[in-house]
Amino acid sequence: MAFDLLSRRSKDREKYGDRLPPGQKVVNDWPVLTYGGTPQIDLETWRLRIFGAVDREMELTWEQFQALPSATVTCDIHCVTAWSRMDNEFEGVLFQELLNHFRPLPSAGHVMAHCYGGYTTNLPLFDLMRENVLLAYKHDGEELTPSHGGPLRLVVPHLYFWKSAKWLRGLEFIEKEEPGFWEVYGYHLRGDPWKEERYS
Ligand SMILES: Nc1nc2c(c(=O)[nH]1)N[C@H]1C(S)=C(S)[C@@H](COP(=O)(O)O)O[C@H]1N2
Ligand SMILES: [Mo]
């Protein structure tokens, strides 16, 4: 049993090298990890709010969000519970694209992602600024299912996946770092999988 797991891990390592962070094993399915239930979201009343320390607060309807230029990002998913899912294709709107419509104030070093259902997670602004951070509505060519965060989720490929907030409803720009839902319970404030920043 233990030996099986070890040999599987070393095969993953052979295939993917440093793409696979330490302590992770590759899965081929896509597990659902949600605390609580899947919220019911009506696209008619759906809104994405950009607020806090920004030059211009915004509230986008689904229609307005769909009208933004879309992009595709191919990336690997690394969950802190030790599974990784390789080669995912997400489609949506790049965070960098949103920055064409507002600017964070110079004092805004951090962001709190807010979700339908009440989940939150905190991120340093510089992590959202990476060129492949996406607000995604599709995965592998299909609309994101509700259990995986549809209609819209955050995808931050270089951090553990608990930072990739499902059912995203707002990005709040803040000056001082504050812990989100799991971070209050001891998950790491940043969550870099290659440094195994699992818990703090
Ligand atoms: N709103 C919300 N977002 C969330 C979560 C959650 O419980 N609620 N779970 C997080 C965790 S711990 C992980 S690993 C990923 C899981 O995404 P998946 O269910 O699509 O695999 O979503 C993250 N985003
Ligand atoms: Mo997770």
What CATH number is attached to the domain comprising 138? 3.90.420.10
CA angle 112, 117, 119 (to 5 degrees): 35
pTM of the model: 0.96
Q: For position 5, what pLDDT does the model report?
A: 67
- Is residue 169 pLDDT above 90, yes or no? yes
Centre of ligand 2 from the C-alpha of residue 144, in Å:
17
- Pairwise CA distance, residues 200 & 183, whole Å: 8
pLDDT digits (tens, 9 = 90+) for 138-160: 999 999 999 999 999 999 999 99
Centre of ligand 1 from the C-alpha of residue 144, in Å:
13
In a domain, 21, yes or no: no
The continuous run of DSSP H or E covering 93 comes out as strand 83-94
In a domain, 20, yes or no: no
The continuous run of DSSP H or E covering 113 comes out as strand 110-115
| Average pLDDT score over the chain | 96
Closest-CA residue, ligand 1 atom 19, reads 32
* Number of structural domains the chain divides into: 1
In a domain, 31, yes or no: no
In a domain, 26, yes or no: no
* Domain span at 154: 43-195
In a domain, 53, yes or no: yes
Centre of ligand 2 from the C-alpha of residue 83, in Å:
9
In a domain, 19, yes or no: no
